[in-house]
Amino acid sequence: MKKIMLASVAALSLGAAAQVQAQSFCMYDPVGAQGAAYALAKDYALAAKQWGAKIELKAYTDERVAAEDFKAGQCDGVGITGLRGRQYNAYVGSIDSIGAVPSYDHLRTVLQVLASPASEKNMVVGQYEVVGVFPLGAAYVFVRDRAINSIEKAAGKKIAVLDFDKSQARMVQQLGAQPVASDITNFTTKFNNGQVDIVVAPGIAFKPFEMYKGLGTKGAIYRFPLVQLTGNLIIRPDRFPAGFGAKSRKYILTQLDTAQRTIKQAEDGIDKKYWLDLTAEDKAKYTLMMTEARVQMTKEGFYDKKMMNLLKKVRCKLDAAAAECANNVE
């Protein structure tokens, strides 16, 4: 009887230890532990205690290393961009596709859908689960010379592309421009020192990466979003309490307004002299061009077809009169 009691106590002790075992989270922030993303991650870790998790954050200034450490099992969760996260979940990673999410209102609707219980089955792929998707801001075209005021004039120019996202190089080549393989750690540096003529980046990158240096007195930013960039929180669900993913996605959605305010403040903080407004004719032309490119790249496997269908439904919900809503091109 005594042995049975001791065994029971030992089992209970082990169970309690398992419940409080910490989960490591590799969090990418270009500024490190002092950055805005890491600050939000600390709030997330605090909220996660209510869901039975004890998250220990590790700051990374190199996104590639964070992703590699997560894949190698050195982290139980990771916070990275949707572009990098596509390798873990092509469905969610395809939100960041060329021209597919025209505005922040569109993105809000998409994120609401993904946080709903109906989308839960699409959040898990193999041993990975996406437990949060959050906005990083629209990606705009930055040019060192505002004389490059049309897509046609980008022909022959050097454009920085992320080396791990093959869709970017594909798109640049279609424009007749020269893709220059880069990483998140150096793509703005190449723009600032003149190694490339053009770069695509969100407004939140302007100040921390000192992109005004690359713009100088002649540069400009097209006020026309090419992509809505997102961030992903991804975990190995077997290392977290049951039901953690659904609670996490619900919480991340409640932080959407905070994230959007941060993005708006960053965009509003860019001097008005840098912004270049396109004509309605050019906007229509570029929208069509992006649609054709997106359709082709979906056929080639760059983007997930199921996500493309969802994004089209969202676009047509917000703008039923759009030409694409009357055809089956996408």
- How much is the pLDDT for 165? 85
- In which band, very low, low, confident or very high, does the pLDDT at 330 lie, cut at 50, 70 and 90? low
Answer with the one of 268, 290, 325 that is the final residue of a domain: 268
Write the CATH number for 291: 3.40.190.10
Give the residues across from 142 on adjacent strands. Answer: 199, 221
Structural domain that includes position 187: 139-227+274-305
Which of 183, 196, 173, 189 lies closest to 84, judged by CA? 183
CA distances from 299 to 93, 99, 295, 305 (A): 16, 16, 6, 8
User: Residues 290, 243: one domain?
Assistant: no
Q: Residue 80 pLDDT > 70, yes or no?
A: yes
pLDDT at residue 20 in the model: 56
Does residue 100 fall inside a structural domain?
yes
**DSSP 8-class letter at 302:** S
CB 241 within 8 A of CB 53: yes
- Residue 9 falls within a domain, yes or no? no
Judgement on whether residues 28 and 124 belong to the same structural domain of the protein: yes
Are residues 69 and 165 both part of a single domain? no
Same domain, 215 and 72: no
| pLDDT reported for residue 156 | 93
Residues 41 and 129 in one domain: yes
User: Looking at the whole model, is its pTM more than 0.95?
Assistant: no
Q: Are residues 196 and 261 in the same domain?
A: no
Domain count, the chain: 2
Nearest alpha-carbon partner for 143 in 107, 197, 98: 197
